[in-house]
């Protein structure tokens, strides 16, 4: 007979601080009361789109949904088209945090409790197999693929993450994240950490370097920044000075050793890089400046496959294949060799070139075309398109509703034909040659102009 | 008013140059058209690049005052006004 397991929504003591919300310290007990009150007010649907831009409100909504037996959907971007498509796939859903159900009542004080007035014994228990979140990944089929996460997956994964990331950060930590909570990297750090260990989060999602500095300053020490290479490079180049920072955690794309070194020097901090996927969550980490190999979290087993790597873990629903190519050093560490050719990673988002190209060819009046990565520092994709009646702006406008902004090609070159082989295949060497010719012609034009 | 002021033109040239916008010329950027999403169609990577270029040229740090940070710099006109307010 299988005994159904339950785990509490939080492992923390009621007087610990879970978040700084609009400048105010929120105790765990107060948060629990607010989450339970919100749970009783939520619409009666199975799925919630939580679009809150305030991190504490996201946390509240996330937990309230779980307490109410619901599941939070995590769309890969905020495009209307994406949300509409997902809403069609999940018709029994509502929107939390923006134009749907709003947090006005929280701000007006209806849900707000007072510090110190809560009992610790009424901590909601959640079934280990309750579906709590679905994260979506874009693949080559065009439709976002669902990755369901039950409570046990989130909890067990988090304890692995805590052991991996927080072993050197002391008894308590205050975190600012630049990555939204709707992204797995944001969820695992800025939502699950404050529930399961002694971490306090800032409710901000700062964007510009100056905002990042102020958000860090608003927290007590010790402090950590959870971010990604695009933001960290901007931070470095901006010349902004940061207050004392214990750690910088980076994920979503590889961070160059050089940038990590500069960050450690300029901000007197340590940079810990994290490796994972939406499907598996975080699986490994390393101190970028001093370690070449990645340390695998104890929860996981890796197997080198033909087109990628297979990941197994007790708390995951099945074997997961990721498109990264690794070299195992031993059961606990590996080297990262690169990514499978189809997948591109831009500003922390994963996209499929096959899917993008399919969408390009579906644009009316496009006879032929290709979107590819020229692999420059700017990370942007480039397109070469055959469409006698269209201009580059027309192509981009046609793609905008269905493609995440970071994958929109720039620039788009209009060309008379693509160098396809007789079989119709387009070799990447041929694409590269054609692109280099275009650049050469441009340089020559600029010189004679 | 649809025409660019001299300062707006200078800012438009900075935008085109620092973001390598091949298909747009500085004078084509309508002062009151959106820069992000619609209109010029800039995204979050551009916002960070642009912020850096502005810091380097005008010696000020861009800052968002609320959670909808891109609204504050929605157009060439509002972005220019923000910069002008903070430079002597």
In whole angstroms, what is the distance from residue B38 CA to residue B75 CA?
A: 11
Mean pLDDT, range A277-304, rounded to an integer:
96
CB atoms A400 and B44 under 8 Å: no
Domains in chain B (CATH in brackets) are 6-86 (1.10.1200.10)
Banded pLDDT at B72 (limits 50, 70, 90): low
A209, pLDDT greater than 80? yes
Counting residues of chain A whose pLDDT is more than 70, the rounded percentage is 92
pLDDT of residue A274: 97
Q: Say if CB A396 and CB B21 are below 8 A apart.
A: no
Whether B47 contacts chain A with CB within 8 A: yes
- Chain B CB contacts of A239 under 8 Å are 55
Most A CBs within 10 Å, among B25, B41, B56, B58, to test the A interface? B41
- Chain B CB contacts of A238 under 8 Å are 51-52, 55, 61
Tokens of A408: 């929109």
Banded pLDDT at A344 (limits 50, 70, 90): confident
In whole angstroms, what is the distance from residue A221 CA to residue A246 CA?
A: 8
pLDDT of residue A111: 44
In whole angstroms, what is the distance from residue A334 CA to residue A422 CA?
A: 41
Instruction: Please name the member of B43, B47, B63 whose beta carbon is closest to the beta carbon of A210.
Output: B63
Q: Which of B39, B25, B35, B43 is nearest to B74 (CA)?
A: B35
**ipTM of this complex:** 0.84
B20: left (phi over 0), alpha (psi -120 to 50) or beta: left
Instruction: Please name the member of A208, A406, A410 whose beta carbon is closest to the beta carbon of B63.
Output: A208
Backbone Cα Rg of chain A? 23
Nearest Cα of chain A lies from the Cα of B1 at a distance, in angstroms, of 24
What does DSSP assign to residue B4?
A: P
Q: Which of A62, A66, A56, A50 is nearest to A200 (CA)?
A: A56
CB atoms B63 and A393 under 8 Å: no
Most A CBs within 10 Å, among B34, B35, B54, B55, to test the A interface? B55
Q: Say if CB B76 and CB B39 are below 8 A apart.
A: no
Counting residues of chain B whose pLDDT is more than 90, the rounded percentage is 41
What does DSSP assign to residue B20?
A: T
Banded pLDDT at A109 (limits 50, 70, 90): very low
In whole angstroms, what is the distance from residue A336 CA to residue A286 CA?
A: 12
Nearest Cα of chain B lies from the Cα of A238 at a distance, in angstroms, of 6
The dihedral sign for the CA sequence A328, A334, A338, A344? positive
Nearest Cα of chain B lies from the Cα of A53 at a distance, in angstroms, of 7
Nearest Cα of chain B lies from the Cα of A436 at a distance, in angstroms, of 16
A116: left (phi over 0), alpha (psi -120 to 50) or beta: left
How confident is the model over A224-237, as pLDDT tens digits?
Answer: 999 999 899 999 99
Instruction: Please name the member of B44, B55, B63 whose beta carbon is closest to the beta carbon of A239.
Output: B55
pLDDT higher at A383 or A346: A383
Nearest Cα of chain A lies from the Cα of B22 at a distance, in angstroms, of 6
**3 state SS of B42:** strand
Banded pLDDT at A142 (limits 50, 70, 90): low
Residue A437, Cβ density class (10 Å: 0-12 exposed, 13-18 middle, ≥19 buried): exposed
- Chain A CB contacts of B55 under 8 Å are 238-239
pLDDT of residue A54: 87
Whether B86 contacts chain A with CB within 8 A: no
- Chain A CB contacts of B20 under 8 Å are 378, 410-411
CB atoms B52 and A346 under 8 Å: no
Most B CBs within 10 Å, among A97, A103, A181, A207, to test the B interface? A207
Q: Say if CB A194 and CB A219 are below 8 A apart.
A: no
A385, pLDDT greater than 90? yes
Residue showing tokens 């220019």:
B80
A312, pLDDT greater than 60? yes
pLDDT higher at A85 or A311: A311
How confident is the model over A399-446, as pLDDT tens digits?
Answer: 998 888 889 999 999 999 999 888 888 888 899 999 999 999 988 887
Q: Which of A306, A281, A317 is nearest to A129 (CA)?
A: A317
In whole angstroms, what is the distance from residue A409 CA to residue A342 CA?
A: 16
Considering chain B, what is the average pLDDT of its residues? Answer: 85
CB atoms B48 and A208 under 8 Å: yes
Whether A214 contacts chain B with CB within 8 A: yes
Instruction: Please name the member of B21, B52, B63 whose beta carbon is closest to the beta carbon of A211.
Output: B63
Instruction: Please name the member of B20, B21, B52 whose beta carbon is closest to the beta carbon of A234.
Output: B52
Whether B45 contacts chain A with CB within 8 A: yes
**3 state SS of B45:** helix
Domains in chain A (CATH in brackets) are 6-339 (3.40.50.12780), 344-448 (3.30.300.30)
Whether B87 contacts chain A with CB within 8 A: no
How confident is the model over A56-76, as pLDDT tens digits?
Answer: 989 999 999 999 999 999 988
Q: Is the pTM of this model over 0.80?
A: yes
Q: Say if CB A287 and CB A271 are below 8 A apart.
A: yes
Counting residues of chain A whose pLDDT is more than 90, the rounded percentage is 63
A84, pLDDT greater than 90? no
**Which residues make Cβ contacts (< 8 Å) with residue A186, sequence separation at least 6?**
A177, A179, A180, A226
């Amino acid at each position: 007979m299988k005994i159904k397991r339950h785990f509490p929504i939080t492992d923390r003591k009621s007087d610990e601080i879970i978040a700084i919300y609009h400048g105010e310290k929120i105790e765990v007990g107060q948060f629990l009361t607010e989450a339970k009150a919100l749970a009783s007010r939520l619409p009666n649907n199975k799925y919630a789109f939580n679009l809150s831009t305030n991190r504490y409100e996201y946390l509240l909504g996330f937990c309230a949904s779980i307490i109410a037996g619901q599941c939070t959907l995590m769309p890969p971007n905020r495009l209307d088209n994406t949300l509409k498509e997902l809403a069609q796939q999940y018709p029994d859903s509502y929107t939390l945090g923006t134009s749907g159900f709003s947090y006005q009542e929280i701000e007006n004080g209806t849900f707000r409790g007072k510090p110190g007035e809560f009992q610790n014994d009424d901590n909601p228990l959640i079934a280990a197999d309750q579906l709590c979140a679905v994260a979506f990944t874009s693949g080559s089929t065009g439709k976002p693929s669902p990755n369901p996460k039950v409570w046990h997956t989130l909890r067990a994964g988090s304890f692995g993450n805590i052991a991996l990331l927080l072993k050197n950060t002391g008894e308590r930590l205050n975190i600012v994240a630049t990555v939204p909570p709707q992204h797995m990297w944001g969820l695992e750090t800025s939502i699950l950490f404050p529930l399961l260990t002694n971490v306090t989060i800032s409710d901000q999602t700062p964007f510009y370097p100056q905002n990042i500095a102020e958000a860090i300053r608003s927290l007590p020490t010790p402090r950590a920044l959870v971010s990604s290479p695009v933001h960290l490079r901007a931070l470095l180049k901006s010349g902004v000075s940061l207050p004392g920072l214990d750690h910088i955690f980076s994920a979503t794309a590889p961070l160059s050793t050089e940038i990590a070194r500069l960050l450690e020097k300029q901000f007197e901090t340590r940079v810990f890089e994290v490796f994972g996927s939406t499907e598996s969550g975080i699986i490994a980490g390393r101190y970028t400046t001093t370690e070449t190999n990645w340390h695998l979290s104890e929860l996981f087993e890796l197997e080198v496959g033909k087109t990628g790597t297979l990941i197994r873990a007790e708390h995951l629903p099945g074997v997961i294949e990721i498109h990264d190519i690794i070299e195992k050093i031993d059961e606990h560490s590996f080297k990262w060799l690169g990514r499978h050719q189809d997948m591109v990673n831009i500003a922390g988002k994963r996209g499929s070139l096959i899917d993008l190209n399919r969408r390009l060819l579906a644009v009316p009046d496009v006879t032929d075309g290709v979107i590819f990565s020229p692999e420059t520092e700017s990370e942007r994709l480039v397109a070469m398109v055959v469409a006698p009646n269209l201009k580059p702006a027309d192509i981009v406008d046609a793609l905008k509703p269905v493609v995440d902004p970071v994958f929109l090609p720039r620039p788009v070159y209009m060309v008379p034909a693509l160098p396809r082989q007789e079989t119709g295949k387009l070799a990447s060497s041929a694409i590269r040659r054609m692109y280099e010719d275009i650049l050469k012609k441009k340089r020559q034009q600029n010189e004679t102009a | 008013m649809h025409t660019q002021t001299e300062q707006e033109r200078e800012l438009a040239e900075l935008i085109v140059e620092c973001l390598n916008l091949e298909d747009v010329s500085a004078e084509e950027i309508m002062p009151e058209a959106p820069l992000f999403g619609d209109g010029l169609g800039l995204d979050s990577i551009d916002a960070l690049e642009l912020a850096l270029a502005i810091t380097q040229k005008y010696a000020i740090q861009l800052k968002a005052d609320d959670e909808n940070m891109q609204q504050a710099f929605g157009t060439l006109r509002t972005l220019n006004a923000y910069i002008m307010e903070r430079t002597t």
